[in-house]
A = this chain, B = another copy of it.
Amino acid sequence: MKDVSRTPPALEGRRERKRRETRARIADAAITLFLRKGFTAVTVDEIAEAADVSKRTFFDYFPAKEDVVIAWQDKFTGPLTEAVAAGPQSEAPVQAVERAMLDALGKTATPESFAIHALVQGTPALAAREQHKYVLLETRLFEALHARYPQENPLGLRLLAMVVIGALRIGTEEWQSTEGLKPEDIPSFTHKVFRMLWRQLAKLR
């Protein structure tokens, strides 16, 4: 080992920073165009042009056109799993997911995210991917729960994750089909959905 002070910015060199910037530039250009003209009406050439890279470079950053949208939506997964891990000791699994969901929604739900969700729903090719994303989210949530409650029955935690993500999906649909709801209303709306969820599940058998 040599002098450490020689390489202070070892955390993120110019290369990594540029790569991150380029990726963001492509994503921004793509989302802007998608929201303006619709997903299918935008070509990859167009995105590449707007982001000032070659078409070939686009595919170096995203394996497919759809993945730009999917990656954009994935901003929810991190906050959710982190919130699960960060709860107080005494907490039971059910309370943990409810609190985590509320927490993560408060952090990531913006007018823009709703606009993107609407775009996804209006594009068949994207709608399928959207559902796949929910399944991945369910898996991540289960993993976070399993890591925090290793003594619990894994299948039980898996079902808990399934039920909660399912409620998120149905709740989002309800939200979208209800006019006049603003981002500020999210906490109370989420509370309402959860209350209904536990009530209805208790009635099953």
Contacts and interface: CB of A to CB of B under 8 A. Distances in A.
Contacts of A160: 200, 204
Per DSSP, chain A at the interface is helix
A68 interface: no
Given A131-B128, A132-B128, A153-B200, A162 B166 contact: yes
Interface string A171-205: 00000000000000000000000001110111111
Contact of A159 (B153, B158, B201, B205): B201
Contact of A156 (B128, B134, B156, B203): B203
Interface residues of A, number: 29
Interface string A146-179: 0000000101101110110011011000000000
Contacts of A94: 204-205
Interface of A: 94, 127-129, 131-132, 134-135, 153, 155-156, 158-160, 162-163, 166-167, 169-170, 196-198, 200-205
